[in-house]
Structure 1
């Protein structure tokens, strides 16, 4: 299975999608089509942590003052389901591997797999 979760309005996501060959990928734009509980559970199973999927650079994270709160995995899970901006993006799933975020290291690892 090959899937990518991204945000169409994000310049970084668009740049990475151009950079990476996404032929054969199922593409899901997370603002128009929110992630489901099943999809989040699948990402959790591959990553081992909801916190790894959580975008701590989101504007809402700062606006809600979440950085000064101790969040549990259950909290991260609920925030991810409630608000699409909390998903660190893009998220690529290639077979049984997951690539989360836009760091150079993550994108290089993804390119090496493809």
Structure 2
């Protein structure tokens, strides 16, 4: 998979991290609102993260809005939700040299920076 940065353009955290990473020019920028993640991307990220649940953003307003916090979700549910709406995917995601860095924790951002350098 080519180098890719999946983010949400309206997310200040994504914008900050995008600036911190000093991405190479060959890195494709994918604003997930305008260019939703594909099933192939979700499958690759699941392999990297270990589960669909690990890719799921519980901070999304729709998570509570749809009452999902009150349900027992399966891996299939998580996959379907990730494909259903862009807000459910953890972000940002950097795919660099075949490795995925998922989320905005300091540890993940530091690992992504180290990989780029």
How far apart in 2 are the matches of 1:83 and 1:109? 27
Are the counterparts in 2 of residues 46 and 96 from structure 1 also a CA contact under 8 Å? no
Q: 1:81 aligns with which of 77, 80, 83?
A: 83
Match of 1:69 among 68, 71, 80: 71
Unaligned runs of 5+ in 1: none
Quote how far apart the aligned CAs of 1:96 are: 2.7
Aligned residue pairs total 114
Q: Distance between the aligned counterparts of 1:87 and 1:51, measured in 2?
A: 10
Tell me the TM-score normalized by structure 1: 0.95
Q: Separation in 1 of the partners of 2:68 and 2:74?
A: 11
Please, what TM-score do these two structures have when normalized by structure 2? 0.92
Asked whether the 8 Å contact 2:3–2:98 carries over to 1, the reply is no
Root mean square deviation of aligned Cα: 1.0
Q: Identify the residue that residue 20 of structure 2 maps to in structure 1.
A: 19
The C-alpha deviation readout for 1:38-68, integer Å capped at 9, x for no partner, is: 1111111222211111000101001112112
Q: What do residues 25-49 of structure 1 show as CA deviations (whole Å, max 9, x unaligned)? A: 1111110011111111111122221
Specify every segment of 5 or more residues in structure 2 that has no aligned partner in the other structure, as ranges.
Answer: none
